[in-house]
Amino acid sequence: MSFSYKRTANYYETDQMGVVHHSNHIRYFEEARIAFMNSIGCNVREMEDNGIIIPNVDAYARYLSPIRFGDEIEVIVRLTKFNGAVMEYSYEILRKDGETAATGHTLHCFVDRDFKPMALKKKHPQYYERTKPQVEKTE
């Protein structure tokens, strides 16, 4: 299953060349991931309030074509791995013209407030059960 998140590139996100600065692509990934999680009933604020911290342990982006101020973009999010201890997402950023601007992935784990690893299935099965069915099946 993929999830679509849409937004418009802001002026303050651009660099001197008039192109969205590369660091913002990772932010776009995060915005899309949070929207996806909220859509499946895993509100990140609520999870944090319940002692579930979801650090990003790896992030990668490949830049294929520029995004400029005012460009409407769509971030396609796919949950590609989830076992209750770690989860991995893949992303594709598309411009309105359909061209792929960037691709990437992020890897996350679950820890408690003391940053000790957490098994989501054991500690918070409700979130595990909402997330597990969302993993995109790959052949």
Is 42 within the bounds of a domain?
yes
Single pTM value for the model: 0.94
Q: What is the DSSP string of 107-118?
A: EEE-B-TT--B-
The reported pLDDT for the residue numbered 13 is 96
Domain with residue 67: its CATH number is 3.10.129.10
Is 137 within the bounds of a domain?
no
27 pLDDT tier (thresholds 50, 70, 90): very high
- Of 96, 93, 101, 99, nearest to 71 by C-alpha is 96
Is 138 within the bounds of a domain?
no
Number of H helices and E strands in the chain, helices first, is 4, 5
Is 104 within the bounds of a domain?
yes
Parent domain of 101: 2-130
Domain count of the chain? 1
What is the mean predicted confidence (pLDDT) over 112-120? 96
- Of 48, 107, 116, 109, nearest to 80 by C-alpha is 107
Handedness of CA 82, 34, 102, 1 (dihedral sign): positive
Is 8 within the bounds of a domain?
yes
> Is residue 15 among the annotated active site residues?
yes
Is 64 within the bounds of a domain?
yes
- Of 97, 93, 63, nearest to 78 by C-alpha is 93
Is 110 within the bounds of a domain?
yes
What is the mean predicted confidence (pLDDT) over 51-57? 97
